[in-house]
Amino acid sequence: MHQKSKLFFQALKYSIPHLGKCMQKPHLNHCNFADHYYSRIKLKKYHLTKCLQNKPKISELARNIPSRSFSCKDFLPIKKENEKSLSENMDAFEKVRTKLETQPQEEYEIINAEVKHGGFVYYQEGCCLVRSKDEEADNDNYEVLFNLEELKLDQPFIDCIRVAPDEKYVAAKIRTEDSEASTCIIVKLSDQPVMEASFPNVSSFEWVKDEEDEDVLFYTFQRNLRCHDVYRATFGENKRNERFYTEKDPSYFVFLYLTKDSRFLTINIMNKTTSEVWLIDGLSPWDPPVLIQKRIHGVLYYVEHREDELYILTNVGEPTEFKLMRTAADTPAIMNWDLFFTMKRNTKVVDLDMFKDHCVLFLKHSNLLYVNVIGLADDSVRSLKLPPWACGFIMDTNSDPENCPFQLCSPIRPPKYYTYKFAEGKLFEETGHEDPITKTSRVLRLEAKSKDGKLVPMTVFHKTDSEDLQKKPLLVHVYGAYGMDLKMNFRPERRVLVDDGWILAYCHVRGGGELGLQWHADGRLTKKLNGLADLEACIKTLHGQGFSQPSLTTLTAFSAGGVLVGALCNSNPELLRAVTLEAPFLDVLNTMMDTTLPLTLEELEEWGNPSSDEKHKNYIKRYCPYQNIKPQHYPSMHITAYENDERVPLEGIVNYTEKLKEATAEHAKDSGEGYQAPNIILDIQPGGNHVIEDSHKKITAQIKFLYEELGLDSTSVFENLKKYLKF
């Protein structure tokens, strides 16, 4: 039930536990800062892996705090299936996904982020951690550093890598697809590399070097999805491993972030609304850490460094949205922070990247994407509006001081590269064959007026040549929690649906983060019903503007998005025909009253404390899906749950499903012979992960369910899939 940027915000995506009732992986999913490891991005055809040296982004630090959310595995290695598919449709779907994900044509290339340190590139090849000389990176000539099979894990993959500054050691965090548990291995680099140590349940970790050129590893330890302890370790002759810091407040969690210039290691202590940062001198890691600013309730801040100045992204002051401030590194307290740059109203800071002479802000304003390039020498600002088809950024670890590369994507369009070149002051687009989806589909930015008059943004996709959209099937997406945006990365199955005539609608309701911090604040605690009103308004607006109709409308959500979906099914079931949910959070009241669950204390700022606050308890009772089930007609529902999910316990989903079946059966008895009861399906998957985004079996089952419930010819979608096999 609970959850957690190459740049500032992506840091969390790979550094802290995915506390999500999400992606992301978070990873503000997020700060993947490129550090002195000279990271680079490299095209590698036919090979799909994760970003190995992804450092947290600033944006992810704020966005990927423990919460109900996606797995952070945006890209996972393609695994060969040894067993036969369960059905012909399943086989077709797996083939098309493999085709799309390994497509050698430019528009379907998957970018593999690799890490360059010194003269080597470090990455995962098969089941091994390897490195190759930079000039040989395109060949198969590589050195195996460690075989993951030695850990005796089921289908292990490398989650992230850190190389020690002098390249004597490399650390890698290993995970499996069906579990959130991790192991951090330390490999000594020599003529015969050997694993010198391993630590269980490591969340974030970073290397620094002390005055005697000894490599020092700082890492955080995760226990029961909670991350409160920081350890400091050395290896070789002076081996030691000691606890460095323990956070006493159970509602906070801790993660590490190394500034892009590697000058400071930051200890970030935060909950959903408040943060505190300590600095460890990257040149003197044995000195006591320095506090930047003691935690102040409601104040969030994240820190980068450049030329003896700290750049601080914070919501302090009015308006309570993120703004960029700076101060001298030797006077870090809040009274010395000077305002440097403010954002426009209704702006979401997606990420921040720091360069020698520039600061680049990745923004979402009024549901459109922008890049602001700030000249640090003259305080100039250049704002670039990005193509209207783009719905999300993919940040690239980058050490080139002259260029800022990134990717843009949408749910139906694969990532495309862009590079801002500082010397020329221009944004360059990747050249090549234009994706045909740009001509065969449309993307619309619409707004719905909610009950209180607030305008709620929507993003809608449909085929350009679709006629009579009112008769087309509609798939609505919603999340609305933790200040996190709806996941809008490229998904081949979403593209297939649009090609097959479906309308896709993404509703950016309050409680999410699409319009900034206030948008989240207006949809949490005792304002959670705003998100429900927004969702209802979005669906009614879509129908009113000629997009589908209730009998062809479906709704999908995962994790905490299940709260709004379940609430809508209770209050306005007539708006929907069918629903698909994955690892849904459906029993808010009982979950938040059980403080023995791993993340309940960290979730209080989002849902409230019904155990001690009667106002919170009564408010939750008004919308909690489980508490409000009643005998009435419901849309058909397909629920995917995971057997050992620690964030959304299986018991709560099973109880919800049983209660829902009882209510629909009772209603059916009083509805006459012609009444068609809804199908309520609970699909329990093995494993202990929260959301397995790339499960072909799961996706195929969900698509098949939607087609059958809407009475559509199920062969049409698979005929559409086969088109992709002909590229």
Catalytic residue positions, numbered: 559, 645, 690
DSSP per-residue letters across 543-563 = HHTTS--GGGEEEEEETTHHH
Q: How many CA atoms, within 13 angstroms, populate the side-chain half-sphere of residue 515?
A: 21
Computed over its alpha carbons, how large is the radius of gyration of the chain?
25
CA–CA gap between residue 67 and residue 249 (Å, rounded): 17
C-alpha 418/C-alpha 402 separation (Å) is: 14
| Tokens standing for residue 433 | 């064959």
CB 439: neighbour CB atoms within 10 A?
A: 10
Q: What angle do CA 541, 542, 543 make, to 5 degrees?
A: 90
List, as own/partner pairs, every contact residues 661-665 make where C-beta atoms lie below 8 angstroms and the sequence separation is at least 24, other chains included.
Answer: 663/629, 663/630, 663/631, 663/632, 663/634, 664/631, 664/633, 664/634
Under 8 Å between Cβ of 232 and 242: yes
Nearest to 578 by CA among 475, 456, 449, 430: 475
Residue type for position 274: T
State the Cα torsion 602-608-612-617 to the nearest 10°.
-140
User: In whole angstroms, how far apart are CA 361 and each of 29, 374, 389, 485, 581?
Assistant: 15, 8, 19, 17, 34
b/e map 204-234, b = 16+ CB within 10 Å? bbbbbbbeeebbbbbbbbbeebbbbbbbbbb
Identify the three-state secondary structure at position 208.
strand
